[in-house]
Structure 1
Amino acid sequence: MARTIGSHGPTTMEAIRKAGLRLIFQHGYEAMSLRQLAAEVGIQPGSLYNHISTKQELLAELIQDHINDLLRELELALRDRQGPVERLRAFVAFHVSYHMTRKREVFIANSELRSLDPRNYEAVVALRGSYERRLADILSDGVAQGVFDVDDVQVATFAIIALLTGLCSWYRPGGRLTKDAIIAAHEKLVLSGVMPRNAEAAQAGGDRAAPHSG
């Protein structure tokens, strides 16, 4: 039986968002009804309209808030990072870490993009473009400084994001690899794909020559 949470605005809205996220992830946007959402939250169906006007509004807010969080936290992750290589490592570590803990949000933002109406779709695509440009700028800086060898920055941007986001389909907490090991593996894949072959070989040689700590 659903828990009755009362009618306090902010508390109820947060419960609606959490329940909506869970139900859309489990059943899909089209299959979730507002009646089902109200029952999950523990309020009357008509009371939902005190907090959201439509199911479409809820979906758009969930996706936009997710991408805004992504952008805000990325800026913090890149703060004080110097040089394209260090910034690319920071981007990879952030993206992987974030997507390990936000599987529902990531899944909905990708799979339910098609369910947005044109106005909301355009707004979300613009936000996604802002995130993609952060990575594209890092790659462009690296190419300009001669530390990255990238034929097409836009293609590389899409490919890297697809690679990093792909872990949502297989990552499970408590698996064989630690979080740090998974991040390191993705950093190696990404860097090996954008660094000139001679620089990659030199880096590999340096890593082998580095003394072990402890």
Structure 2
Amino acid sequence: MARKTGSHAEITGPRIRAAALRLFAAEGFAAVSMRRIAAEVGVQAGALYLYTPDKQSLLFELMKEHLDAVWEAWQAEDEGGDPVARLERFARFHIRFHLERPEAVFIAYMELRNLEPENFAVIEGLRGRYETALEDILKDGRETGAFDIPDTKLAAMAIIAMLTGVTTWYREGGRLGRADVAEIYAGMALGAVRGRTGA
């Protein structure tokens, strides 16, 4: 099929992904057809297949793009050093990064069930990479005595779930700004792992 005049991969491809992101987040992956995505972009349904093999591939690409982005951003943010400071930094980073991408966050967590097994395995690996980065911080804190944690993996999962939950309720213009929310949640993350003595 010939590509329409004025339709360029560097323009249409991102527009397709952006439209799919909005629609999957608003209506759910299963409810959105390729024809619906094409209508949103303003192209013929057949034109989508110039940019993606199928809807499953589109979902996988969106998830992978998000998880690669969060990993790269955290790698640039993490300065190492004291585990207490790193945990605070991680909490603030996670909230700041994810509040800017609520649709991508929703899809990355809620649409895992719609991934085919091979794609699921890749996405789980990318999620695990980020979760392990937090667990390593918690392990360091436990080894130095800064944190009192019986199970670092469980604690990492609980902290990420708490931090990610902000994207479901936060609204711009509310009582607290993003920086305020990040500060409070960083304190709660520390409180969850420091034990009763506040070591």
User: Do they fold alike, i.e. is TM over 0.5?
Assistant: yes
Runs of 4+ in 1 over 4 A off after TM superposition: none
Deviations 1:132-187 (A, max 9, x none): 00000000001111111111101101110111011111100111012221111101
Contact 1:5 1:41 (8 Å CA) reproduced:
no
Deviations 1:65-111 (A, max 9, x none): 10000101011111x34210111111000001112111000001111
Gaps of 5+ in 2: none
**1:147 corresponding residue in structure 2:** 146
Cα distance in 2 for partners of 1:67, 1:172 equals 23
Same amino acid, percent of matched pairs: 42
**1:136 corresponding residue in structure 2:** 135
Contact 1:87 1:138 (8 Å CA) reproduced:
yes
**1:212 corresponding residue in structure 2:** none
Contact 1:6 1:43 (8 Å CA) reproduced:
no
Counterpart mapping for 1:20-99 below 5 A: 20-78=20-78, 80-99=79-98
Deviations 1:44-66 (A, max 9, x none): 11111111110000000000110
1:42 Cα deviation from its structure 2 partner? 1.2
Q: Which has the higher contact order (CA 8 A, sep 6+)?
A: 2
Cα distance in 2 for partners of 1:41, 1:16 equals 6
Cα distance in 2 for partners of 1:34, 1:186 equals 39
**SS of 1:7's equivalent?**
coil
**Higher alpha-carbon Rg:** 1
**1:186 corresponding residue in structure 2:** 185
Cα distance in 1 for partners of 2:40, 2:99 equals 26
Instruction: Determine if the alignment matches structure 1 residue 15 to structure 2 residue 50.
Output: no
**1:170 corresponding residue in structure 2:** 169
Cα distance in 2 for partners of 1:144, 1:101 equals 34
Instruction: Determine if the alignment matches structure 1 residue 6 to structure 2 residue 6.
Output: yes
**2:124 corresponding residue in structure 1:** 125
Cα distance in 2 for partners of 1:174, 1:84 equals 33
Q: What RMSD over aligned residues (CA atoms) do the two structures have, in Å?
A: 1.4
**SS of 1:175's equivalent?**
coil
Cα distance in 1 for partners of 2:159, 2:48 equals 40
Contact 2:88 2:187 (8 Å CA) reproduced:
no
1:197 Cα deviation from its structure 2 partner? 2.6
